[in-house]
Amino acid sequence: MKNSLETILCHPTSFAPFKDVTGSSHFPIYNTATFDLKKQTNENGKKIYDYTRSDNPTREALENLFAFAENGAGAVCTHTGIASVNLLFETVLKANSTILVEADCYGGTNRLLKIYKDKYNVEVISANFHDFEMIEHILKSKSIDLTLCESPTNPGLKIINLEKIAKLCKKYNSLFAVDNSLATFISQKPLDLGADFSLFSTTKYISGHGSVIAGAIVAKDEEWANKLHYYSNAHGHNQNPMDVHLISLGIPSLKIRAKASSKNSIKLAKFLEKQDFITKVTHPALKSHPNRKLAEKQMKIIPGVFCADFKTVELAEKFIQNSKIFGEKCSFGSPDSRVEIPSKISHASFSKEELENIGISPSTVRFAIGFEDIEDLKKDLLQAIK
């Protein structure tokens, strides 16, 4: 009998590299820098641990879990989500490489790309991944080492047809990576849709409690998984065992949390659509969203993050300042609802033109919805804007 993913994720100890004899609900925390080589038996050809930067059984358990959940060959857990993006670049790109990236991407990824461009002469081609003709033209006319996108995108909440982009990448020999931070593996499987890598900030929905910063990257093929592991050790990106433990605590409840956040966010987005101080609401679950059908096909749960354009910047600021529930915070996937102005915080690395290009204005507010009572959220919104 094959159990479903959510059942398996409620029993994370099965992913530990050693057989557990205690019946513990969580995998053990090996909080050590070093291991005594003389005391390791290497029974059954199991690997030898020497130094936690290279390998640690606690981290290995979480890596096994992520590789399984994403249907990949292997995973690496990093100390931040952006370290996973960086690890991907370090592993795949060389000086003078070319990367094709969806124009609407996380501000930290955009900042990192600017560094690669300036320091290593990496050519960064930023494009609209809805325009398949243009994407094919770019892939055909240039040698693209890596293609990268998020779906849904942050902050524009575009839904990218991952299967179509993956096919184009295969045809023209580009590696394809998807940042799965918003949807997570409980909802969307980029590797099953043809991507070579799925990476994510575990700071968000996966940890789920806003208590730790971390990330992970999963490779479809063993060869790339080994290369990721090699570079992660060499560059020192590997996550420490205590943080691995904190991340692992959120995993059994991932599905119910993702569903609760999604449900609340859809209700609030519909409520906001009716308000005269709002000019536009962008939520992939709303009828007004141009990629709603694809969103429903590609994801089992639509994430609880959306954008709303206020009539004026002053109104947006007024709402944020007067709200008693919504903190002005970046990040998403925590129990508490929060808001931020992307042009000011998470996407401050974008130029005015880059923001305009992805449809983000100074009065766009990104909402990341938690588990509060929906009526309290609505009441708070109205009192804040009065």
Ligand X SMILES: Cc1ncc(COP(=O)(O)O)c(C=O)c1O
Chain residues that interact with ligand X, rule: CB under 6 A? 80-82, 85, 106, 108, 150, 154, 179, 181, 201, 203, 213, 215, 331
Give the shortest CB-280-to-ligand X separation in angstroms.
Answer: 21
Q: Give the residue with the Cβ less far from ligand X, 106 or 224.
A: 106
Beta carbon nearer to ligand X, 9 or 148: 148
How near is the Cβ of 263 to ligand X at its closest, in Å?
21
Amino acid (1-letter code) at residue 18: F
Asked if residues 65 and 9 have their Cβ atoms less than 8 Å apart, the reply is: yes
Distance CA 286, CA 271 (A): 11
Smallest gap, in angstroms, from Cβ of residue 348 to ligand X? 12
Interatomic CA distance for residues 372 and 334, integer angstroms: 11
Cis peptide bond upstream of 290, omega within 30: no
Which residue lies nearer to ligand X by CB, 291 or 334? 334
Residue with Cβ nearer ligand X (322 or 331): 331
Phi, psi for residue 277 in degrees, rounded to 5: -90, 0
Exposure on the CB side of residue 370, measured as CA atoms within 13 A: 19
Taking the least distance from each CB to ligand X, the nearer of 82 and 294 is 82
State the nearest-atom distance from the C-beta of 189 to ligand X, in Å.
17
Specify the residue, 85 or 272, whose C-beta has the smaller distance to ligand X: 85
Q: Cβ of residue 188: shortest distance to ligand X, in angstroms?
A: 13
From residue 73, give the alpha-carbon distance in Å to each of 44, 64, 124. 21, 9, 28
Token pair 């060959």 in the structure block, residue: 73
Q: In angstroms, give the least distance from the CB of 121 to ligand X.
A: 24
Q: Which is nearer to ligand X, 57 or 72 (CB)?
A: 72
> What one-letter code names the amino acid at 332?
F
Contact yes or no for 216/77 (Cβ under 8 A)? yes
Adjacent-strand bridge partners of 29: none
Cβ-in-10-Å burial (0-12, 13-18, 19+) of 321 comes to: exposed
First-last CA distance in the chain: 57
Per DSSP bridges, beta strands 327-328 and 338-340 are parallel
Nearer to ligand X, 52 or 201 (CB): 201
CB count in 10 Å sphere of residue 151:
30
Q: Which is nearer to ligand X, 142 or 209 (CB)?
A: 209
* CB-based burial, 240-253: b 16+ in 10 Å, e otherwise: bbebbbbbbbbbbe
Residue whose structure tokens are 């309290």: 376
Q: Are 217 and 83 in contact (CB under 8 A)?
A: no
Q: How far is the CB of 45 from ligand X (least distance, A)?
A: 35
Give whichever of 205 and 319 is closer to ligand X, judged by the CB atom: 205
Q: Residue 79 Cβ, how far from ligand X at the closest point, in Å? A: 9
The residues facing 239 across adjacent strands are none
Least separation, in Å, of the C-beta of 178 and ligand X?
Answer: 10
The residue number with the shortest CB distance to ligand X is 81
User: Minimum Å distance from CB 214 to ligand X?
Assistant: 6
Distance of CA 52 to the CA centre of its chain: 25
Return the residue matching tokens 């925390």. 29
